[in-house]
Amino acid sequence: MSEIIRQHVNFRFFRTLPEWRRLSDAEKNKGKKEFEAIVKKYQSKMIILSYSLVGLRAEADFMLWRISEQLEDFNEMSAELLKTGLGKYIQIPYSYLAVTKRSMYVDKHQHEGSEASRAKVVPGNAKYLFVYPFIKQREWYLLSKEERQKTMDVHIALGHKYPSVKINTTYSFGIDDQEFVVAFEADSAADFVDLVMDLRETQASKYTVRDTPAFTCIKKSIEEVLNDIG
């Protein structure tokens, strides 16, 4: 049996400085083209999806969801982006790092496309991505495996009632400030709101320490994303 190679996952959020919008159109176009070229260069090495947050979140304008087997790819790409004309006018308000891992709770919940049984992220084509870091209480990890499984059985079964929402769970223990980063793909923001409201009523919810900040992202090509920032 061949070894499953796990992926590194990064959700990197960008904010443009006010000075960017005061540049001439020629300068902005040059900076955007340089930035776009770097993104497309690295799309041959890893999975990169781009999202706009303009009008949706005050402190972030766009986000790159990056997935690679090599952690160094994120470092090298980010260094090149910062050297572009646009890179001189951006801040990074948030950047979350995680890795893929098969969930320990899914053996009783196998079905076609079950995300938690995968050691690799396979992004879909949904219009929206909802992202947030997640931390559980330490008491959760002191429960027996049987207690946690019973609690998660209810949690997972409820999620299956919303087939239009696809979850991608990644793990950050020891490599970033959060324990998990979850990214939900959906074509309806209302469906996701309903799912989260229902999940609040499960037993697992009481073990949540933090699940903010939360980001609503619109999937677009890198060209469209950069056009949104002016």
Residue 168: Cβ-neighbour burial (10 angstroms; 0-12, 13-18, 19+)? buried
At 103 the pLDDT is: 76
The more confidently predicted of residues 33 and 2 is: 33
Instruction: Decide if 210 contacts 38 (C-beta within 8 A).
Output: no
Last residue of a domain, one of 49, 66, 98: 98
Same domain membership, residue 209 and residue 125: yes
| Cα separation values, 220 from 49, 52, 64, Å | 8, 7, 10
**Which residue segment(s) compose the domain that 15 sits in?**
8-98
- pTM score, two decimals? 0.92
Number of domains in the chain: 2
Same domain membership, residue 157 and residue 202: yes
At 4 the pLDDT is: 76
Question: Tell me, what CATH number does 211's domain have?
Answer: 3.30.70.1030
Sorting pLDDT into bands at 50, 70 and 90, what band is 2?
low
Do the domain assignments include residue 171?
yes
Do the domain assignments include residue 133?
yes
At 5 the pLDDT is: 85
Last residue of a domain, one of 98, 133, 161: 98
Same domain membership, residue 165 and residue 143: yes
Same domain membership, residue 206 and residue 116: yes
Do the domain assignments include residue 146?
yes
Do the domain assignments include residue 228?
no
| Predicted confidence (pLDDT) at residue 77 exceeds the cutoff of 90 | yes
Sorting pLDDT into bands at 50, 70 and 90, what band is 108?
very low
| Predicted confidence (pLDDT) at residue 209 exceeds the cutoff of 90 | yes
Q: For the chain, what is the mean pLDDT?
A: 92
Do the domain assignments include residue 2?
no
Q: Report which secondary-structure segment, H or E, holds 137.
A: none
Do the domain assignments include residue 143?
yes
Do the domain assignments include residue 3?
no
Same domain membership, residue 44 and residue 25: yes
